[in-house]
A and B are shown apart, each in its own frame.
Chain A
Amino acid sequence: MKLTVLYFAWLRERVGLPRETVETGATTVAGLVEELRAREERYALAFSDLKSVRVALDQELADFDAPLDGVREVAFFPPMTGG
């Protein structure tokens, strides 16, 4: 399955890019995170503390145990600081 993966704020800085296409066999967000962590040190660093990482699936906030069925865009970012 091909996914567009987006990174924002310090996750973008740690991973070193704003978006990429990822070919994955993962069925959940948590599975995708494990695949990314195993890739390279910069991903392991970006995802070292999941308490400070939020995820959106096709632009809706989701949980790490959410399934990736039918999802096209996954975004990872820190807790939001709007207003």
Chain B
Amino acid sequence: MDIRVQAEAFDYGAEAGAFAAAATGAGAVVSFAGIVRDRASGGAGGGAGGRLARMEIEHYPGMTEKALAAMAGTARDRWSLNDVLIIHRHGPMVPGEVIMMVATAAPHRGDAFAAAEFLMDYLKSRAPFWKKEVTAEGADWVAAKDADEDALARW
């Protein structure tokens, strides 16, 4: 299990490849990357906003690492997993940059997919990160979506 919270950019392909190569005994690896979109979310409405200049991600050092480790631990308890990787960045980034990734390795794909989706749903609403979008018009904090909170109910 590998949890990293960092400001530095990382190579998603290289990380996913290394994770798969190290997952001996696993028959399936699922990986997901979150990317900075080129449009602002448009506030609470969730519609497409203006062109995004950059995104700034604030986090709670200490709690972030603990929360991610707890989620990964829960995933390992609930599904048969060989390994879990979570990398999440903070600080400023521009459209197209990779914000974060999750990878899961399991004997069979069902567990790898389910655990990856579980981790993404929890990361959205239970990991202490806050996104701010900067456009030509100014800067706005991204509002949490009810749909993201509702998504937790299925787990």
Interface residues of A (CB under 8 A from B): 6, 8-10, 12, 56, 59-61, 75, 77-83
State whether A78 touches B60 (Cβ < 8 A): no
Cα–Cα, bound, A60→B144 (Å): 19
Interface-located stretch among B9-17, B19-27, B120-128: B120-128
Within 8 A of A (CB), among B91-121: 99-100, 120
State whether A81 touches B62 (Cβ < 8 A): no
State whether A81 touches B149 (Cβ < 8 A): no
Residues in B neighbouring A61, C-beta threshold 8 A: 126
State whether B130 touches A78 (Cβ < 8 A): yes
The 10 A-B residue pairs whose C-beta atoms are closest, nearest first, are: A79-B144, A82-B129, A59-B63, A9-B130, A82-B127, A83-B124, A83-B123, A82-B123, A81-B131, A81-B142
State whether B141 touches A9 (Cβ < 8 A): yes
Cα–Cα, bound, A6→B130 (Å): 14
Nearest CB in chain A to that of B66: its residue: A59
Cα–Cα, bound, A59→B60 (Å): 9
Residues in A neighbouring B130, C-beta threshold 8 A: 8-9, 77-78, 80-81
17 other contacts beyond A81-B124, A81-B141, with CB at 8 A cut-off? A8-B60, A9-B58, A9-B141, A56-B60, A56-B63, A59-B60, A60-B66, A75-B128, A78-B130, A79-B144, A80-B124, A80-B125, A80-B144, A81-B144, A82-B126, A82-B127, A83-B124
| SS of B interface (majority) | mixed
* A29, chain B: closest CB distance, angstroms: 16
Q: How many residues of B contact A (CB 8 A)?
A: 25
Residues in A neighbouring B34, C-beta threshold 8 A: 83
State whether B126 touches A80 (Cβ < 8 A): yes
Whether A82 touches B60, Cβ cut-off 8 Å, given contacts A59-B66, A77-B130, is no
Cα–Cα, bound, A82→B142 (Å): 10
Residues in A neighbouring B144, C-beta threshold 8 A: 78-81
Is B132 close to A, CB under 8 A? yes
Nearest CB in chain A to that of B132: its residue: A9
Residues in A neighbouring B125, C-beta threshold 8 A: 79-80, 82
